Amino acid sequence: MTDSSSAYNHGSGTVAYKGQTLLPYGTFRYNGPCPDRGTHFYNITVKALDASGSVLASGSASRPFSAK
């Protein structure tokens, strides 16, 4: 079952920028979505913002997740 008309925020996070060009593994953690039944397709987007909130870069992926 897929409901493309609904959008749910499954979390977010913030990592302070201190001039680094890479973030070490484990700096940011996300457990992922957990649908209540069936398989749902999720579009996941990550954005890098500057101090004023302007988008510096972004990446996204679409992936199916199944109920456990």
The pTM score is 0.50
**Amino acid in the structure at residue 3:** D
Identify the band that residue 31 occupies on the pLDDT scale cut at 50, 70 and 90: low
- Comparing CA positions, the residue from 31, 44, 38, 45 lying closest to residue 66 is 38
Mean pLDDT of 45-66: 88
pLDDT of residue 59: 92
Band of the pLDDT at 8, cuts 50, 70, 90?
low
Q: Cβ(35)–Cβ(65) under 8 Å?
A: yes
